[in-house]
Amino acid sequence: MANTPHGGILKDLYARDESKQATLQVEAESLPTLTLTERQLCDLELILNGGFSPLEGFLTKEEYDSVIKNMRLPDGTLWTMPIYLDVDRTELDRLGVSTGSRVALRDPRDDQVLAILTVTSEFQVDRAVEAEAVYGANDQAHPAVQYLFQSTRDTYVGGPLEAVNAPQHHDYVAIRRSPAEVRTLFKKLNWTRVVAFQTRNPMHRAHRELTVRAARMRHANVLIQPVVGLTKPGDIDHFTRVRVYQAIMPKYPNGMAQLSLLPLAMRMGGPREAVWHAIIRKNFGATHFIVGRDHAGPGKNSAGQDFYGPYEAQELVLRYRDELDIEVVPFQMLTYLPETDEYMPINEVPEGTKTLNISGTELRRRLKTGAPIPEWFSYPEVVRILREANPPRDKQGFTVFLTGLHASGKEAIARALQVALNQEGGRSVSLLLGETIRHELSSELGFTKRERDINVGRIGFVAAELTRAGAACIAAPIAPYNDARQLVKTQVSKSGGFYLVHVATPLEACIKNDRSGVYQRAIDGEIKGFTGIDDVYENPENPDLVADITKTAISQIVHEIILLLERDGYIGDR
């Protein structure tokens, strides 16, 4: 039979409040409304469906303080992660929300009312204390600490929830199961011993071997329960990952494993998070839980050291295993032994035995460059899915961002580069000239720093979308400020290549080249805030190329850009 929920009872608020759902729906329309963030949406769903049992709402101050200091709720129940609703104080004041208020919580995607919160607690916290207590360091190299300081609002609101509607998902609906549904599935399949496996990464042969070993050791079935809420920034998107999981499921013996998705917002909290994950899997009915090396680890801190020890998470979960009442299955990292064609925990490998491994960094490099990925590491079906989502460089998009003063020659370079790339073929080429963007997308904007940054931000958005679609994008705005250019680089680099070209033609030459006469009008005071005359142009700090049309022919500048693209594999046949 399925494991007993944490705290003894599955707090399924949908089932509890089903009889009054219609009444709550009507009431919600007259209540003040808060629209949830993406993280809050994930948290709310797991509170409402019982995944966070014994919680029945967002933490109050008393509960928060107890969890932060003692890893327990006030009644002594083990609970390691603070689950709170953070809101701007100004927003609460605008809505007239205070202790005793009832508030409708809405889905940010479709504005549907999901729950009603009765506010019993409003409080502010010391974020540094929370960072140290929960994540072990006040260091914004940790993604959850960065989120805490940069995205969390100033007031935490706690209190009980009443369920109105479940969030509507449109992806992989058949394998998005609540704790009650997973427990029903176990009963239908006659599963009495279940090992749960948590992952936020694609699965390969080693993961399949690890889970089968765990099942064999514990005479159990396997629940593959990957996170599809929020994971570590930079992780592979969940659509790609779920396709990988679906491809790997037939590799298990028939009837051994089931796949079910978890809408969790991970915090990458290492040891505390591992205990939290064990509690969640217990609520879903699992009797065993795999805790691997560096479970829920965020990587390196600002000093270049790991935030947590490799087996620190295992140690904390094992410390509370009796109280958790879920058996922990600790595992060392598995490594491949080519001489015997098998995987083995690294601590069991005989001394002197040849081993092979491919790190996550090396895998990403091979995907980007198109280098081969051996079958001993992953299944061909999995590799094919990953390559579709991570095409090699010659199939990826890129942006060449030319910045410089008006009449510096950047537009001429951009047009010549467009011709060269069209001649090369292989991808569509789009040209975003500064004047075109001003006319088509930013005609309402002036030339203050804020308005210039908005304009450059719009160029960055379009460039990032074109790059994501595999196109070549050439942008040629003035873009005078470093911070705005850096934001564009950050946007574009998520999807492909980004090359910053500083067209550093001297101001005197730009004035001479200016046939429109705008420089002279700026010098005469007719135009205010003109870049290079009475407004600053910040030279790029680390451009990929510096060009000056008074010293180098446009054809040569274009050739040098082409060489950069060829060097990195975006063009040319390797």
- Peptide bond preceding 543 in cis form (omega within 30 of 0): no
Burial environment of residue 245 by CB neighbours within 10 A (0 to 12, 13 to 18, 19 or more): buried
Per-residue DSSP letter, 264? -
Helix (H, G, I), strand (E, B) or coil at 334: strand
Catalytic residue among 70, 77, 201, 335: 201
Per-residue DSSP letter, 488? H
Active site residue 468: no
Helix (H, G, I), strand (E, B) or coil at 330: strand
Q: DSSP for 190-248?
A: T--SEEEEEESS---HHHHHHHHHHHHHHT-EEEEEEB-SB-STTPPPHHHHHHHHHHH
Catalytic residue among 200, 243, 452, 485: 200
C-alpha pair distances (Å), 243 with each of 375, 385, 421, 468? 18, 7, 34, 20
Which secondary structure element, helix H or strand E, spans residue 427, and what is its range? none
Q: 105 near 44, Cβ under 8 Å?
A: yes
Task: Give bridge partners of residue 121 from the DSSP assignment.
Answer: 158
Token pair 């070209």: residue: 501
Active site residue 200: yes
Per-residue DSSP letter, 407? T
Distance CA 496, CA 341 (A): 36
Active site residue 201: yes
User: Chain-centre distance of CA 337, in angstroms?
Assistant: 33
Catalytic residue among 155, 199, 211, 221: 199
Hey, what are 165's tokens?
């509607």
Q: Which residues are catalytic?
A: 199-201
